[in-house]
Chain A
Amino acid sequence: MRVVMLTAAALLAAGTVSAQTASITAKANVFTPLVISGAQDLDFQNVFPGAAKTVGPAAASAGRFDITGQASAPITLTFLLPSNLTNGAATLPIGSWTGCRNPTNTATGCTTLTPSATATNATFGAAGTMFVFVGGTVTPGASQAAGVYTGSVQLTVAYL
């Protein structure tokens, strides 16, 4: 080891009177990266002019996001939701969003949440998985043009 001092030799020759050590810890917590996938579309199937239709989060055609990450870690769920589905220039209002989350891939017994742009806190299960189910209501007008209407539901997940 190099001693950095011009007069190091003379000082070291004087001898060591006493020595103390101090120890701190270098530490890091490796987390599993977040992986999220849109696993199933929210599908209202056939709807009719003038008749609102609701798909609940526990329905077979509910939307579903699959998330994996660090077991038992707290996260936030933030949605970006459309107010209309579109078919070219035609629009179909959508709203009254509902949702729930579960560490297993079933809506049975899931924890209710309201999808919104305001972050919802959640915690991964012991297996590091979370499944988020999304439902909503479309409200076709009495003169709604026929066709397939689509829109994007985005979910952002972040570690707290």
Chain B
Amino acid sequence: MRPGLLVLALVALAPIGLNGQVTVAAERDLDFGVVFRGVPSTVDPTDAVKSGRIRVSAPRSVQFRVSFSVPNTLQRAGGATMPISIGNGDITARFNTDSYRYSLNPSSMYIVTMGRGYITFEYGGTVSPSPSQAPGDYERPIIMTVSVL
């Protein structure tokens, strides 16, 4: 589904205006777990265990802008890096407990007008260890910015 439809759907669900606090909570890291040299590994944003998750709660009618900052490499202590791709469709948004997920592009910015409850952003992606990738723990932050309008 095109990202623009997310905005339209949320606007349609928005009842009368009421300002209030917006809460942004990091709930779960995007964790690829064990990966092997030379073998790409993908986590789907719908993965209930491995996908990353950030939840935004806001009162009805509050509008906010969402943007993403995603890494293109993970890094190990000592400086070794490993490519990671978080591209179009690797982030999804879900309104409350709806089963339907909107597919988002991290290079785009989104305007959300809240209905009731919260919206959950879930992150997937693909890491591509090289055949000579040094063993160890690799990581990098994923940042989501929510600007209340």
Interface residues of chain A, those whose CB is within 8 Å of chain B, are: 1-8, 11-12, 14-33, 70-71, 159
Inter-subunit contact A28/B74 (CB<8 Å): yes
Find chain A residues with CB under 8 A from B28 CB.
24
> A26 CA to B125 CA in the complex, in Å?
9
10 A-B pairs closest in CB distance: A28-B32, A27-B139, A19-B147, A5-B111, A22-B24, A26-B30, A22-B26, A24-B52, A4-B3, A3-B109
**In the complex, given contacts A14-B149, A24-B30, A26-B141, what are 5 additional A-B residue pairs having Cβ atoms less than 8 angstroms apart?**
A1-B107, A1-B108, A25-B29, A26-B52, A28-B138
Inter-subunit contact A19/B34 (CB<8 Å): no
Selected contact of B108 from candidates A4, A12, A27, A71, CB within 8 Å: A4
| A-B CB pair tally, cutoff 8 Å | 162
Find chain A residues with CB under 8 A from B109 CB.
1-4, 8
Inter-subunit contact B4/A23 (CB<8 Å): no
With contacts A26-B125, A27-B137 taken as known, whether A5 is within 8 angstroms of B146 at the C-beta atoms is no
